[in-house]
Chain A
Amino acid sequence: MDYTINELMVVATARELRDGELGFIGVGTDGRAFTLAVGIPMAAARLAQRTHAPNFTIFWNNLLSPELEQMPPRLTQHYLTRWPSSYQPVSCVDKNDMLSKGRFDVSFDSAPQIDRYGNMNITAIGDYKKPKVRLVGCLAQPDHFAFIKRPIIITDLKKRTFVEKVDFITSVGYLDGGDSREKKGLKPYGPWKVITDKCIFNFNSENKAMQLESLHPNVTLEEVLDNMSFQPLIPDTIPETEPPTDEQIRLIRDVIDPNKILLLV
């Protein structure tokens, strides 16, 4: 069956989610940024629940374990307020405590800049004090990278996104590689996978540099390298990303996102 790249990214993300885990989904602005930050993670969480991880739950907006089967038709304020869920904290203090106490297993993060060691920038392009482009700030992304065991990065592969060094470290991945992250006093976590529209990366267990894990079907290595400003580690044989099954596609199209809210662009 034909599938879209978004559907492939949903399936690849879902594959990383384990039964019984708790995931943190952040907020996205509009358009593609929303699809990457919210749409794909939400669809992946629901697909995981429907398939191999029925007890996977999420925290999103102010909702702990919202009923994903009862996802509202729109994501405006009123629908968020009344989305059936297990828990709506009385303020963000509770969410922040859950974060820094380490109660989340995975998070889903994207950024306009990411470097070889998985450091992320969502704050400023250029000089911080007088930037070429001012971005949104930090949100809880630094907290995800500091306190969550396996942050999953979801972003499109672009030369201007995958840079040798981010202009500003909003969120610490593996910092300068090796054990530099732990030396700063951070827990030995760090980004788990990078799921893009062309390929999937992980991080080398020794030097912590980004390395190619698999190429999506019909994508060449050359195409990947052409869309990056640094050279990742490349294994001798590169597997192909497992494509979605017919059943997974059916679930995404008919059950999970029939109104095209999550995977619009």
Chain B
Amino acid sequence: MLWFLLRTGWKKLWTLFFISVISFAVIHLAPGEPSQIDPMNPRFTPQQLERYRKAFDLDQPLHIQYLRFYQRLFTGELRSFKDNQPVLPKIVERVWNSLWLFLAGTILVWCAAFPLGITTAIRRNSVLDKVTTVVVFALISIPGFYLAYLLIIFVVQTFHVDVIGLRTFGHQGRNLVWSFMDRTWHLVLPSVLGATAGIAILSRYVRAQMLEVITSDYVRTARAKGLDEDTVLYKHALRNGLLPFVTMLGLIVPGLVGGSVIIETIFAWPGIGRLGYEAILSRDYPIVITLNFVAALLTLVGTLLSDLLYMVVDPRIRLEGVE
């Protein structure tokens, strides 16, 4: 047990180190050498370059640059090019808005994907299974923004309601109940759209896991003992079928930044994805680079959590370290 913890911690430390190096290395993709200033390209102005060199200490040796970058980041010395605010507080402020979207989306994903995956596995090859397979794959195969446009047009034309932004514009003085309902409604479309890909992927994952479990020896044994089908499925098989819940915990976190760029841009949602996109458009490199780092860091924390949870729910993992 302790051995497992130590090993996991050691691995995560290495991962953290690599993450910090790669996040930092992205800086060097940007214009760093004067020879790269292209007079025809309005993005690489000498002023921009000078600012960039100063912000990331490009005149220092590499390892000093690396250390200075993280020192500046955590002391609040690294500031946005756009409004000269420290980078970290700016990001934290936006995370708050994204978090609601992310939570709503994640709850939707879990509520839909597990029942769907388990049912389709139990009734493999039924019409339900085939139809869900195609529908679910259609959901991950459709370009997100295309689906979003179709849905927005449909909803707006059918219900004549406002769907863009955090709340309906021009109703600030309304009572609490009204504005709560309004905000909740504005959460619906973006979170449904954000959840589609997650539902599709997780439900396939759950289905595959459940199929493996159903065909495994211990389930056959349970049947052979003469247990009724419900006990076999819901008491014996389901427990292992729920393992993807733990695995996905770590893997959904990158969606907080990456998956939200398009949805937040379409819905004018002042979240972290839109912050990133705006930063990219305005060449605000400190924000862009920090966002990549923060997202990777969050994922690392997510996978660490899922590793620890695995240890609690799956004794096979614990035993692995003993061997």
Q: Do A and B come from one complex?
A: no
A residues apposed to B, CB below 8 Å: none
